Amino acid sequence: YLVGYAPPTVLINEFLVDNESVNQDEAGAYDDWLELYNADAVTVTLEGMYLTDDLSEPTKWQFPAGTTIPPSGYLLVWCDRDTGQGPLHADFKLNRDGEEIGLFADDAHGLVPLDRLVFGPQLEDISYGRLPDGADTWDFIDPPTPGVSNGDVKRGLKARLRPGKPR
């Protein structure tokens, strides 16, 4: 690294793996998504950055040219393996039984991991995110907060009983 260089502070902030009724994409489908959060005080350009669901393949999906996140802002990426639906549709889906997610930057210093996590089994219509935004603490979020701050939600998961759906 060069002296004084710091990669942008863009983080994976929240994700929903089993989206049955929370929010729809442009085509009306309830798909997996993840939310990025820009903790910097300046707009960050995501050109040259990648998302992956396989840390051994960090360049799996590249952000389209011109994609930005405003200061303290959020960006939703659909993880639906349907890139034809729009520019922010990644070519992978997330596994509800658990897997890994990574955000990488390819800059003058090579491929730099900006954020990565390994997660376990997930629940229908309940997201997993940082509380508060950008923190190191993760918890289930019910209801999910796509595109807005996680700061106003209660910590933890309250049981939701549904007939025929054992937990």
Question: Which amino acid, one-letter code, is at 20?
Answer: E
Domain 10-141 maps to which CATH number in 2.70.70, 2.60.120, 2.60.40, 2.40.10? 2.60.40
pLDDT of amino acid 109: 75
pLDDT of amino acid 163: 41
* Weakly modelled stretches of the chain, pLDDT under 70: 1-7, 152-167
pLDDT of amino acid 139: 92
Q: How many CA atoms lie within 13 A of 123 on its CB side?
A: 20
Instruction: Write the DSSP assignment of 70-134 as a string of letters.
Output: -TT-EEEEEEBS-GGG-TTEES-B--TT-EEEEEEEEETTEEEEEEEEEE----TT-EEEESSTT
What's the whole-model pTM score?
A: 0.88
pLDDT of amino acid 110: 84
* Domain locations along the chain: 10-141
pLDDT of amino acid 151: 82
